[in-house]
């Protein structure tokens, strides 16, 4: 036991010296955008509840009603006794939104990726991953046991070259990317990637964690991804939908296979009924309030315009600081002004690209966005 304690202490010292040690900070959400932290009331720009639906009265009522009827837990994995009746409605709604035949809900977006990718790719296969894709996509790719290669971020020419060079050596090829990148906020060239996948008989997988509900093609106001040739569409229920869980939207045969082979589904307890009911209620709100779903991107665009940054492509805006210590100091300075903007450091992002990651929500007051933009412009972008 002593060697274990010494190992942990040494690793923690190494992280501290590099300004990479993390800690949990008690933070109470007051409403959709305000929090209480360390005895202070702060306006949070570090939350992915883009539509603030986790606080919506209709969503709360749906969750409470589900608890009253079904209880607080699922009791077992979905394939044993944990597949309560609400799942069918949620999966049908997700499939319809994404333009696919079927859907499968997981315990989280992370569980979806580490379940789906190894269920479809194996030792004889090629998995090509955008270099900036989320850690769960990389984890799923490595768990597949296949040949895993990265392509330069959003570089379709590099992806095409890798496909041309390596596809013939492998049984199958799978391409994996985020639709909206969680740390940079930019979008993948999905249509171009889908065309490349068709040309090489590869399978394209997109993770829409940060687009669902807030971008036109991900909230039902444009043709769904299924019509653009994306056969494997993953995402989460925990961001714009304000609930918890993950999903895969795909063909009926693929979904049936995943229900039988995805270990993170087969061997995990199902979601609490309240989470499924809340996600259904969120989809109702998104369908009837297009004005609400447009707000996060509009507010992010307002910020980038005032701060003098490149126009936002999504509700996520990075302000690159550079070194981890400087990013922590920038976060502290903004907290002193009443803003919670958490510093993002390696290994989440590359060395030398530590940043302030701002996420914009429907409920952010415009006057406070303007004040934050001036502070960022004058203090960190000069």
Render pLDDT for 110-134 as a digit per residue (tens, 0 to 9): 999 999 999 999 999 999 999 999 9
User: 190 with 270, same domain?
Assistant: yes
Same domain, 269 and 305: no
162 and 238 inside one domain = yes
Q: Select which of 48, 77, 83, 251 is catalytic.
A: 48
Annotated catalytic residue: which of 178, 208, 217, 225? 178
Question: What per-residue confidence (pLDDT) applies to 216?
Answer: 77
Question: Is residue 278 within 8 Å of 242, Cβ to Cβ?
Answer: yes
77 and 42 assigned to the same domain:
no
Return d(Cα 148, Cα 125) in angstroms, integer: 9
pLDDT, tens digit, 9 for 90 and up, residues 267-314: 999 999 999 999 999 999 999 999 999 999 999 999 999 999 999 999
> Is there a domain that residue 161 lies in?
yes
Tally of domains in the chain: 2
Domain extent, residue 197, equals 58-288
Query: What's the mean per-residue pLDDT of the chain?
Result: 95
Catalytic position from the list 56, 84, 98, 134? 134
pLDDT in tens, 306-319: 999 999 999 999 99
Q: In the structure, what pLDDT confidence band is assigned to residue 229 with cuts at 50, 70 and 90?
A: confident
Distances (CA, A) of 146 to 174, 210, 310: 10, 27, 38
Considering 259, 288, 317, which residue would you say is the last residue of a domain?
288
Q: What span, in angstroms and rounded, lies between the C-alpha atoms of 266 and 362? A: 36
Residues 110 and 209 in one domain: yes
**Is 178 noted as a catalytic residue in this protein?**
yes
223 token code pair? 């043709």
pLDDT band at 225 (very low <50, low <70, confident <90, very high): low
Which of the residue ranges 25-39, 74-88, 347-361 would you say has the lowest mean pLDDT? 25-39
Asked if the structure places residue 7 within a domain, the reply is: no
Contacts 24+ apart (CB under 8 A), 17-22: 18/324, 19/323, 19/324, 19/325, 19/328, 19/345, 20/324, 20/345, 20/346, 20/347
Q: Are 146 and 168 part of one and the same domain? A: yes
| 207 has catalytic annotation | yes
pLDDT above 90: residue 94: yes
Pairing of strands 343-344, 354-359: antiparallel
Is it the case that residue 1 has pLDDT exceeding 90? no
- Active site (annotated) includes residue 91: no
Q: Distance between CA atoms of 272 and 38, rounded to whole angstroms?
A: 31
**Number of other CB atoms surrounding residue 5 within 10 Å:** 9
Active-site choice (56, 84, 200, 239): 239
Q: Is 48 a catalytic residue?
A: yes
Whole-angstrom Cα distance, residue 241 to residue 283?
7
Does residue 222 lie in a domain region? yes
Looking at the domain assignment, is residue 1 inside a domain? no
Q: Looking at the structure, do residues 198 and 344 belong to the same domain, yes or no?
A: no
Q: Are residues 67 and 207 in the same domain?
A: yes
pLDDT for residue 101:
96
98 carries an active-site annotation: no
For residue 357, the surrounding DSSP H or E stretch is strand 354-359
pLDDT surpassing 90 at residue 236: yes
| HSE-up of residue 372 (Cα within 13 Å, Cβ side) | 30
Query: Residues 142-156: pLDDT tens digits?
Result: 999 999 999 999 999
**Residue of 154, 182, 218, 238 marked active site:** 182
**In a shared domain, residues 298 and 162:** no
Residue of 209, 225, 228 lying closest to 217 (CA atoms):
225
Asked if residues 220 and 186 have their Cβ atoms less than 8 Å apart, the reply is: no
End position of a domain, from candidates 266, 288, 310: 288
From 56, 84, 98, 210, the catalytic residue: 210
**pLDDT surpasses 90 at 164:** yes
Task: Let me know whether 264 and 162 are in one domain.
Answer: yes
Q: Could you tell me the two tokens for 326?
A: 């400087």
Radius of gyration for the alpha carbons in the chain, expressed in angstroms and rounded: 21
* Residue 35 shares a structural domain with residue 106: no
The CATH code of the domain that includes 38 is 3.90.1150.10
| pLDDT tops 60 at residue 158 | yes
Catalytic (active site) residue 366? no
Other residues' Cβ atoms within 10 Å of the Cβ of residue 105: 23
Give the domain-ending residue among 288, 309, 330. 288
277 and 320 both lie in a single domain:
no
Q: What are phi and psi of 269, to 5 degrees?
A: -60, 145
Omega before 233 cis (within 30°)? no
What average pLDDT does the segment 364-380 reach? 96
Q: Give me the CATH number covering residue 224.
A: 3.40.640.10
On the question of pLDDT at 227 being above 90, the answer is no
43-79 burial: b if 16+ Cβ within 10 Å, else e: bbbbbbbbbbbbbbeebbebbeebeeebeeebeebbe
Q: Is residue 53 part of a domain?
A: no
CB atoms within 10 A of CB 157: 11
**pTM of the complete model:** 0.93
Active site residue 19: no
CA distance to 125, 159, 182, per residue, from 149 (Å)? 11, 10, 20
Residue 296: inside a domain = yes
Catalytic residue among 49, 207, 208, 217: 207
Predicted confidence at residue 382, as pLDDT, reads: 67
**Residue 10 belongs to some domain of the structure:** no
**Is residue 98 a contact partner of residue 225, using CB atoms and an 8 Å limit?**
yes
Answer yes or no: is 131 within a domain.
Answer: yes
């Amino acid at each position: 036991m002593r060697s274990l304690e010494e190992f942990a202490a040494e690793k923690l010292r190494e992280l501290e010296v590099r300004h990479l040690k993390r800690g949990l900070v008690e933070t109470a959400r007051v409403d959709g955008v305000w929090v209480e932290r360390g005895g202070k009331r702060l306006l949070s720009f570090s939350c992915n509840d883009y539509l603030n639906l986790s606080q919506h009265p209709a969503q709360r009522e749906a969750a409470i009603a589900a608890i009253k009827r079904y209880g607080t837990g699922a009791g077992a994995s979905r394939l044993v006794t944990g597949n309560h009746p609400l799942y069918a409605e949620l999966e049908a709604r997700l499939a319809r939104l994404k333009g696919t035949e079927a859907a499968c809900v997981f315990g989280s977006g992370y569980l979806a990726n580490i379940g789906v990718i190894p269920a479809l790719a194996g030792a004889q296969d090629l998995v090509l991953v955008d270099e900036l894709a989320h850690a769960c996509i990389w984890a799923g790719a490595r768990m597949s046991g296949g040949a895993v290669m990265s392509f330069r971020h959003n570089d379709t020419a590099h992806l095409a070259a890798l496909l041309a060079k390596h596809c013939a050596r492998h049984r199958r090829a799978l391409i994996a990317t985020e639709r909206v990148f969680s740390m940079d906020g930019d979008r993948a060239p999905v249509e171009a990637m889908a065309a490349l996948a068709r040309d090489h008989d590869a399978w394209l997988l997109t993770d829409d964690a940060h687009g669902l509900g807030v971008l036109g093609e991900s909230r039902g106001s444009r043709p769904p991804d299924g019509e653009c040739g994306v056969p494997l569409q993953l995402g989460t229920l925990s961001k714009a939908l304000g609930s918890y869980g993950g999903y895969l939207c795909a063909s009926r045969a693929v979904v049936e296979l995943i229900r039988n082979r995805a270990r993170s589904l087969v061997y995990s307890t199902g979601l609490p009924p309240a989470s499924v009911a809340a996600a259904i209620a969120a989809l109702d709100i998104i369908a009837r309030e297009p004005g609400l779903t447009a707000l996060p991107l509009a507010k992010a665009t307002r910020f980038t315009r005032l701060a003098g940054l490149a126009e936002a492509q999504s509700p996520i805006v990075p302000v690159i600081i550079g070194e981890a210590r400087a990013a922590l100091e920038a976060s502290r300075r903004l907290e002193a002004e009443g803003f919670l903007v958490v510093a993002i450091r390696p290994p989440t992002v590359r060395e030398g690209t530590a940043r302030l990651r701002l996420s914009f929500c429907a409920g952010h007051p415009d006057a406070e966005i303007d004040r934050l933009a001036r502070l960022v412009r004058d203090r960190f972008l000069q």
